[in-house]
Chain A
Amino acid sequence: QVQLQESGPGLVKPSETLSLTCTVSGGSISRYYWSWIRQPAGKGLEWIGRIYSSGATNYKPSLRSRVTMSVDTSKNQFSLKLTSVTAADTAVYYCAREDGEQWLVDFWGQGTLVTVSS
């Protein structure tokens, strides 16, 4: 059973960069798509983007200018960087695995709360 675990700072200052890492266990990161999805408190899910194990990426257009995703297959990890954060970026951030045929999310991390505040 694939398991995903997010890690990173829970508090980021405005205008700085949010950095999160997702560690995948119970399966290989290779030949799969991996994504980041966030959820502000009391609100819905927002897909941020995905990265394939080869490093190819696909980002939500409205976030593209601030998002960078990377993958480290040797560590079975992938990462998210979101620059110039504001309070609007405060959310629970989930890392997830995508099924590249059905185009859905089949495994989710437990989520990590990131608060943007000075």
Chain B
Amino acid sequence: QSVLTQPPSVSGAPGQRVTISCTGTSSGIGATYDVHWYQQLPGTAPKLLIYGNNRRPSGVPDRFSGSKSGTSASLAIAGLQAEDEGDYYCQSFDSRLIFVFGAGTKVTVL
């Protein structure tokens, strides 16, 4: 089964750029499957942030960007703001369309 590995936490000062990695196995995102990213602010349900590796849904600021290469994907947050504090999850799926989430990364604004 595919496993997605994320760092437990990242932090940065306001205005800085942070990146979150999401590394998968060859049976998951190492194949042709896309990676999506969700933002979960404290006490709220997750919200789709990036889809199809690097596309932003309407309304998501362009400070958020995604990329994918081989078995790894990344989420970048440029110009970090206090309101970005929360948890970020990557998600992909396997050949049986079983969804897999990464364990999540807590973003702290210093």
Contact = CB atoms under 8 A, between A and B. Distances in A.
B3 to A, nearest CB: 12
A104 B48 contact: yes
A46 B98 CA distance: 11
A61 B101 contact: no
A45 B89 contact: yes
Interface residues of A, number: 19
Contacts of A102: 34, 36, 51-52
A46 B101 contact: yes
A84 interface: no
B34 A110 contact: no
Interface residues of B, number: 24
B97 A58 contact: yes
Given A35-B99, A58-B96, A60-B98, A104 B91 contact: yes
A58 B89 CA distance: 22
A24 to B, nearest CB: 15
Given A102-B34, A103-B93, A105-B38, A47 B51 contact: no
A93 B45 CA distance: 10
22 contacts: A44-B89, A44-B102, A44-B103, A45-B89, A45-B91, A45-B101, A47-B98, A47-B99, A58-B97, A102-B34, A102-B36, A102-B51, A103-B99, A104-B36, A104-B48, A104-B51, A104-B91, A105-B38, A105-B48, A105-B91, A108-B46, A109-B45
